[in-house]
Amino acid sequence: MNDKQIVALYHARDEQAIAETATKYGSYCHSIAYGILGDREDADECVNDTYADAWNSMPPHRPSVLSSFLGKITRRIAIDRWRKNRAQKRGGGETSAVLEELQDCIADKENTETAFEKQLLAQTVSTFVKKLPDTERRVFLCRYWYMDSVESIAERFGFSESKVKSMLYRTREKLRNLLAKEGF
Amino acid sequence: MKKDDMLLDAIGEIDETLVRQARQKKKSRTAIAVGAVSLAACLALVFAVPSVRNAIAGFVSPQESTTELLMSGTAMWEEGENEMALAWDDISVYYVDGGKLSSITEYLPCSPQPIFEVWKEQNGIGDEVKLVKVRIESNAETTYSEFEGESVAEHKVGDYFILNITLSENIKTYYDRLDETLLLESLKKTLSYNLLTYNEYHILFA
């Protein structure tokens, strides 16, 4: 079943939409959640929460590419779960390492933020990533959006792990300089 | 919330197309044999073949351009045309960066429309500006080929190429913000993605 047909099921409030979503995108969403959480049970729960969120979002949304829509939901839910786990001092996955890497990119001047500042930061990061050379961008997104391990990124691109680490380091430096310049 | 957490959330808002492309496998540079239905598609197929591409890389343009040429080879793409992209490649997309041109490399289908969309985005140009037509003229000898029963232009070193780009007139509203000469230069360089060395460029408005 193609994405258009699955989205139509959601809009028709036909529960077959969830079954079709699970068949087509269950593994994909699970891989995102597992990468963030490092725990199968937690990842399973996140995927189920993704289906519920998707059911509540469509209508009105009508995404043309369902994988991107669902992937974004799963990522958000998994990161929220990770934060809850962190507060309770449990959980694994790549997220701790990723956060540690990103710590150097942005000054932790204060612990409050506004919705406007969050939006501005999102726009700045988006523009930065768009302007990256293709390979650097893909490696960056595999690491910091998908939370893929350095090992799996190296395998995917046919690079050594040290090359991946160097590439990520250079990109983070560029991002850090840009964010400092923009006042973040 | 700590700032690094905010950054993690901000990364989550990155364009979904870029996110999706991040994990896609790159396609091979060799020509993909699919049914071509236009001369433009045939030209692109010819130039995807490494031996021909190498020959063209050695092409040296004539010292002087001339309009007194017998143009027998023409390839054209028009807005709304439902063409099949034959290959994907790393495409250099040029944009006006202060008083100079800069470029980014994007992995894109070798087809004018998606490349033009990225060019607009990089230059901060809105959706209202359209790419109406792209037309390549050459003095190549056109021969009939068994390949899909179409005429194919066979190119050799020394051939003369003209790239004609037709844009919607409303591009001119951006000239007060972006230097006209640099902007059009960035477009010419970007749409020269098919490895041809053009002898002339014409930018037209519709």
User: Using one digit for the tens of pLDDT, what is the confidence trace for A34-57?
Assistant: 989 989 999 999 999 999 999 999
CB contacts of B4 in chain A (<8 Å) are 99, 102-103, 105-106, 108
Q: How far apart are CA B138 and CA B160, in angstroms?
A: 5
d(CA A7, CA B8): 28
pLDDT digits (tens, 9 = 90+) for A64-121: 889 889 999 999 999 999 988 887 766 667 888 888 888 888 876 655 567 778 888 9
Q: What DSSP line would sit under A66-88, residue for residue? A: HHHHHHHHHHHHHHHHHHHHHHT
Mean pLDDT of B23-37: 45
- CA-to-CA distance for B160 and A74, rounded, in angstroms? 53
Task: Report ipTM for this prediction.
Answer: 0.84
* Interchain pair A83, B5: CB under 8 A: yes
Give the pLDDT band (50/70/90) at residue B195: low
Partner-chain contact B15 A145, CB within 8 Å: no
Between CA A165 and CA B76 the distance in angstroms is 45
Query: Residue A114 — left, alpha, or beta (φ > 0 → left; ψ -120 to 50 → alpha)?
Result: beta
Q: Peptide bond before A133: cis, by omega within 30 degrees of 0?
A: no
Q: Is the pTM of this model over 0.90?
A: no
* Cα–Cα distance, B198 to B206 (Å, whole number): 22
Closest CB from A65, A130, A142 relative to B22: A142
Name the band, by pLDDT with cuts 50, 70 and 90, for residue B86. Answer: very low
> Among B7-21, B56-70, B88-102, B148-162, whose mean pLDDT is lowest?
B56-70
**B88, B110 contact by CB (below 8 A):** yes
Determine what percent of chain B is predicted with pLDDT higher than 70: 59
